[in-house]
A and B are shown apart, each in its own frame.
Chain A
Amino acid sequence: MGIAMLKLQRLKNIRGIDPLMLLFYILSLSLLLFVFVTLANMIVGQVLTDFAGLVETAASKPVIKSIFLSLYAGFIATMISFLLGVPTAYILARKNFVGKRFVESMLDVPVVVPHTVAGIALLTVFGANGLLGAPLEPYIQFRDAMPGIIVAMLFVSAPYLTNSAREGFKSVDPKLENAARSLGAPLWKAFAFVTLPLASRHLLIGSIMCWARAISEFGAVVMIAYYPMIGPTLIYDRFLSQGLSASRPIAVLLILVTLTIFIAMRILSAGWRVYDKDQ
């Protein structure tokens, strides 16, 4: 210990690095490697050992269908989250009311609830005999159908968009809205031309997070809609019936597709910094 400290001390003298910062660098590197190695090992391993299998999987119809369904259902869930979450976020950012903390905690609950629990809860509402599922039965089915996938994704992913949007609206000084109002803008115009553009980066990041979360959801979706199979369900299904070697190519494919999309979106949005409060 003493020697180690001495070495650290010397390092500090040589490189000007504080021992605490060195410790933090090492720990953060461990975390980074943990994530990176896990994913890279799977992807690289697949590409090196069984590239033909990956190509074959990419050409298989059920696989393409399931991955597309994940993206598509996730996208719709994100759209609905946006429509409902943005007004909610604006109210939370601008207004104070009794029970606001309760409302905020309530909106965050889906983040902490185990996903299978969320699935059960959703079934009791949207299942064939559920609170809403039963009266809606003649018009729309949730169980083992697209709407079921969407409500499950919506439930678990909406908080990400709402929270990000709320932070975005909070970062826009209400005085800017006041100034716009004084210049003749009704509230909706002040919102559309001042608040919304200034919060747009937060809204975009929130939407990406929301979509990513929706695509990655498995537990809640599988409880309410095993079929039609989304990507994660298909991977699970193949894993149980045919083992690791059959499910891994699908997993690799799913992660490659989603990573490509998210990296592209991040690059596109990187230059999109219209406003930072502390700039």
Chain B
Amino acid sequence: MIKINDLHRNWKEFRLTGIDLEIADGEYFVILGPTGAGKTLLLELIAGFHQPDGGKISIGGKNVTGFPPEKRNIGFVYQDYSLFPHMNAEKNIEFGMRMRGLMSRGGSKVKAKSKSKIEEVAGYLNIGHLLHRHSQTLSGGEQQRVALARALVIEPDVLLLDEPLSALDPGTQAMTRKILKGIHNDSKLTVIHVTHDQTEARILADRIAVMMDGRIVQIGTPDEVFDRPIDVRVAHFVGVENVLKGEVTASSNGISMIDIGGKMLEAISECPVGDTVYACLRPENVTLSKTDINSSARNSFEGRLLEMDRMGALVRVKVDLDGGFLLNAFVTKPSAEELGLAFGEPLVVSFKASAVHVV
């Protein structure tokens, strides 16, 4: 278990304030936050590259706060891989074992064991054929796998990943994501992964900590964080494209009526009447139709198509609800064609009361 208590650190333009985290053994923990939130600084504090101004870090029940990085038994992978440019892939991977004297001292048995460990990990990451290549001649994805191998062969207590996919092209990103997931599933290694990418966080994380301005603002499972963000800022950051300001006009049996620009929204919430609230609705939870379809959706409004953006797999549609507010919705390309979406066309939007999260 990794335990972080009340961690503080000011460094350059970054300021970490009162960080408290508990990460269980074998957990894949993602720290998600915008650029400049201090995520990397936090990771580097856990690694021991920096010393905190205050607070405590313990790994596996041992207080390592004052320890130098080489005594923490961590694996660390940077966004830009940070392979040693004067060594080939194999020498890079061996480095940790050489530092532990496992490649020279202790007889040939130890060395053979180290070698076979390297081969095993290289085989697992499918880089066995690259071992003799110079590190600078490898592609981004290959370099990242070498960097992972280098961190994994020392059998760390925790693997720290600093934006490990951000420098890769989308295809390689997807592949490396799979590799990370595979490593975690197979080894049950504790992973702390820092990123600004929601997709990455959603796919990989057991739990997510959202970090903003040097503070942890929300911790939860991906569903909790993405569907029930704690406040408006987190909602915006995790891709809730509809954040609507309104007033609670009625509330009973766990259902609230919220007045948003004259339209009444039904939401699962227990806010007191008269409160000013924000209704959060993810665009993928909005259904579009030509006519009012009879469904279990409690909220149904008529409107007109205002904007349409093709985003690859999905089409983002902005609907102007007559006399009310604007709503973003995602539809798939085939259903966009089926609906015959065009500017100014009348549409019906509907969504469940349970899809609305109120903050």
Interface residues in chain A, defined as those with a beta carbon under 8 Å from any beta carbon in chain B: 173, 175-176, 178-187, 189, 193-194, 197-198, 274-275, 279
Contact = CB atoms under 8 A, between A and B. Distances in A.
18 contacts: A175-B80, A175-B82, A176-B85, A178-B44, A178-B78, A179-B84, A180-B84, A181-B48, A182-B47, A182-B69, A182-B74, A183-B96, A184-B96, A184-B100, A193-B95, A198-B86, A275-B85, A279-B136
B208 interface: no
Nearest to B156: A182
A38 B84 CA distance: 46
A198 B136 CA distance: 14
A181 B86 contact: no
Interface size classification for chain B: 20 to 34
B4 to A, nearest CB: 18
B70 A186 contact: yes
Given A178-B47, A274-B86, A185 B99 contact: yes
A181 B82 contact: no
B68 interface: yes
B136 A183 contact: no
A178 B82 CA distance: 9
A194 B84 contact: yes
B196 interface: no
B70 A178 contact: no
Given A182-B70, A185-B99, A187-B68, 8 more contacts: A178-B44, A179-B76, A179-B82, A180-B95, A181-B69, A184-B154, A186-B68, A279-B85
Contacts, number: 69
Contacts of B343: none
Contacts of A184: 70, 73, 96, 99-100, 154
Nearest to A275: B85
B49 A183 contact: no
A184 B94 CA distance: 11
Interface string B291-335: 000000000000000000000000000000000000000000000
A242 to B, nearest CB: 53
Contacts of B41: none
A128 to B, nearest CB: 49
Nearest to B99: A184
A102 B136 CA distance: 38
Nearest to A182: B76
Nearest to A172: B85
Contacts of B154: 183-184
Contacts of A178: 44, 47, 49, 69, 76, 78, 82
A197 B82 contact: no
A183 B71 CA distance: 9
B352 interface: no
Contacts of A183: 70, 95-96, 99, 150-151, 154
Interface centre among B84, B136, B154, B160 (most CB of A within 10 A): B84
Contacts of A179: 76, 78, 82, 84, 150
Contacts of A186: 68, 70
